[in-house]
Every structure is written in C-alpha cells, then in structure tokens.
Structure 1
C-alpha cells in the first residue's frame, strides 16, 4: 500500500509509532505505539483509520462500565461536588475527622464508597448537633447570647 500524501503540503508521509492522548467523558487515556503517518516537511501527523477506531472503542468502553467497576477513588473536587460543598469544607471535614482521606503525592484522595456512605448513612441528632457545634465558634455563641437579650 502506498503511503498517504500530506493534505497540508502534498508531500508523502512516512509511517511512525506515536503516543496518543484520548479518553471518554472524565476518563483520560495515554496510548503508546499507535500507528500514524507523519510528514517530514511540515510535521503534520495523522492516525491510521484502524487505530482511530481502536482508540474510540477503548474510550467508549469506560463509559459502559458498570458503576461498581468504575474507579472507586475520588479527588478533592469530585468529593466536594458529590457532597455539594466547597473544597474548603472538604478540607475542614478531613481535619476534624468527619471524612477519611489519604494523600497521593500532594493530592487528597477519597474512597468513593465511604463518601457515598456519608451521604446515605443514618443521621442522628447527636451527629447534627456535633457538626453544628464544630462549625459555630464559642465567640459566635457569645455574640448570639448578647443579641438575644436586646430583643
């Protein structure tokens, strides 16, 4: 089979191996040793048709995974989004022990099942009261008492 011609400059392209970044939705992939054609004249690179199909199929397979087979580790932003709180609230929850987390390098990671358990776990008045106490400082409570006498 003849090598393709570059659509930019019209020169013949050579077959090479390359690395391609791809993915589907939130999943990111890096695929090495992909067949491609490169033009030495202008450095334009195009993938072989069969390789493009393979990359698309790999990416789409991530979206078709059953929920329980998807990656079960969340980063800080995903955790905050799931809990519907700010990133700072997540940091505070780690600090006071309401959330379990571990670090990978400089980044916090969370077990998705545990975070979902926090959302669906039983809430008791003790838990609510305890978390409210942690979010309201003693100084705020004193100000509240002073203002309640004024009414």
Structure 2
C-alpha cells in the first residue's frame, strides 16, 4: 500500500508541491490577519526599514556561512572534504543561510505578546522570507549561468 502511495505522490509531485506551499502560507497569513487594524497603522517607512534589515541579516548570514563552510571544509580533510564539491558547498550555504518562516511564527506565538502583537511581529518576517527566497534564487541563477559559461568555454 505504501509503495502505491509513494508512486502516486511521485506522479503528482507538482500538485503536492503547490498544495504544500499553499498550506504552509496559511499559518503566517492567519497571524497577520489577526492584526489587520494594527497593520493599517504601520508607517510604510518603518516597514521598508524592517525589509532592509531582513535583507542585511540574510546577506550577513550568507557571508558568515561562506567563511564558516570554507574554514570547516579545509580543516576537515581539505580537498577530500565533501564540501570541496561546489554542489555540496552551494546547497549547504543556501540551507544554512535561510531562516524558516514557520519557525518564526511558532516563536512569535510562544512570546505571547511580550514584544507586541504577533501579527505585527510576523509581517516583517514574511517580507524577509520572501526577500531571502528572491536573493537565493538570483544567487542560484548566477551560479547556473557561471557554470554554463564555464562548460561552454571548455567545449569549444
């Protein structure tokens, strides 16, 4: 039975991916929706500053993780390290630098309003999450173009 279920999910992978994304987005949406009247009072300038801070935090994490991964991989086995392969290095860099939105929502809920209305606290986190996805997508696209130009250079 489980093998049949696994096959069904594999055949409908795109549908389940979209469904998963929709369901995951409902949690932050519910948090933000609870604070709608307060959200309308937020000055756009403050929101833009929060977005900028989220971008800076993500870029700082990318920079820190580049140094940390290179240091650890050179310390452990050098060129034989699993992270000496650029694919592994890149995957670890992206995964370590991204912060999960659902974790933020869970932490904000546990604060119980100690730092303010949970919907207000989640809003810049949602924006930061969207920005980190955009930044990482641009980074991956850059890597793909770099790899393609590198492979074309050696094919000619």
- TM-score norm. by structure 1 comes to 0.19
Structure with more strand by fraction: 1
Structure with more helix by fraction: 2
- TM-score norm. by structure 2 comes to 0.19
Larger radius of gyration between Structure 1 and Structure 2 = 1
By relative contact order (CA 8 Å, sep 6+), the higher-ranking structure is: 2
